Chain A
Amino acid sequence: MKKTGAQIIIESLKAEGVKTIFCYPGGATLNITDAFTNTDLQQIVVRHEQAAVHAADGYSRASGKVGVSLVTSGPGATNTVTGIATAYMDSIPLVIFSCQVNTALIGNDAFQEADIVGITRPCTKHSYLVKDVKNLAQTIKEAFHIARSGRPGPVLVDIPKDVSASLAEFKYPDKVNIRSYQPTYTGHPGQIKKAMRLIANSKRPVLYTGGGIISSGAAGELLHLAEKLSIPVTNTLMGLGGIPGNHPLFLGMLGMHGTYAANMAITESDLIIAMGARFDDRATGKTDEFAPHAKIIHVDIDPTSISKNIKVDIPIVGDTKNVLTKMIEIAEEDNEAFKQQHKRVSEWVDKINTWKKDYPLTYQKSGILKPQYVIERICELTKGKAIITTEVGQHQMWAAQFYTFLKPRTMLTSGGLGTMGFGFPAAIGAQVAYPKSLVIDIAGDGSIQMNIQELATVVQYNLPVKVVILNNGFLGMPRQWQELFYEKRYTWTHLSSPDFVKVAEAYGAVGYRLEEEKDVDKVLKEAFRNNRPTFIDVSVNPEECVYPMVPAGASLKEMLLV
Chain B
Amino acid sequence: MRHTISLLVENEFGVLARVANLFSGRGFNIESLCVAESLDPTISTMTIVTRGNDAILEQILKQLNKLINVIKVTDFNEMDYVSREMVIVKVHADDKTREEILRITEIFRGKIIDVSSKSYTIMINGDEEKLKGFLNLIKPLGIKELVRTGTIAMARGERTIKMKENHIKGGE
Contact = CB atoms under 8 A, between A and B. Distances in A.
* A and B found bound together: yes
A182 B172 contact: no
Nearest to B64: A304
| Residue from B59, B63, B170 with most neighbouring chain A CB atoms (10 Å) | B170
Given A179-B163, A179-B167, A308-B59, A303 B17 contact: no
A495 B27 CA distance: 36
Given A121-B18, A122-B21, A304-B62, A183 B68 contact: no
B25 A122 contact: yes
28 contacts: A121-B14, A122-B25, A129-B14, A179-B71, A179-B167, A180-B9, A180-B10, A180-B70, A181-B68, A181-B169, A182-B169, A182-B170, A184-B170, A184-B171, A184-B172, A191-B172, A303-B62, A303-B65, A303-B66, A304-B62, A304-B66, A306-B62, A306-B172, A307-B55, A307-B58, A311-B55, A317-B170, A317-B171
Interface residues of B, number: 25
B162 to A, nearest CB: 12
Interface in B54-109: 55, 58-59, 62-63, 65-66, 68-71
B168 interface: yes
Nearest to A155: B68
A3 interface: no
A118 interface: yes
Nearest to B15: A180
Contact of B170 (A188, A303, A316): A303
A315 B58 CA distance: 13
Interface string A159-188: 000000000000000000011111110001
Nearest to B72: A180
Contacts of B66: 302-304
Interface of B: 9-10, 14, 17-18, 21, 25, 55, 58-59, 62-63, 65-66, 68-71, 163, 167-172
A180 B68 contact: yes
A35 to B, nearest CB: 27
Interface of A: 117-118, 121-122, 125-126, 129, 146, 178-184, 188, 191, 302-304, 306-308, 311, 315-317
A372 B68 CA distance: 44
| Residue from B21, B65, B66, B70 with most neighbouring chain A CB atoms (10 Å) | B66
Contacts, number: 58
| Residue from B59, B66, B167, B172 with most neighbouring chain A CB atoms (10 Å) | B172
Contacts of A183: 170
Contacts of B18: 121
- Ranked 5 nearest A-B pairs via Cβ: A317-B172, A180-B71, A304-B62, A126-B68, A303-B62
Given A191-B172, A303-B170, A121 B68 contact: no
B17 to A, nearest CB: 7
Contacts of A180: 9-10, 68-71, 169
Contacts of B62: 303-304, 306
A188 B66 CA distance: 19
Contacts of B55: 307, 311
A129 B17 CA distance: 14
Contacts of A121: 14, 17-18, 21
Contact of B68 (A125, A191, A307, A317): A125
B16 to A, nearest CB: 11
A84 to B, nearest CB: 15
A212 B21 CA distance: 26
A117 B18 CA distance: 10
Contact of B14 (A117, A146, A308): A117
Nearest to A146: B68
Nearest to B14: A117
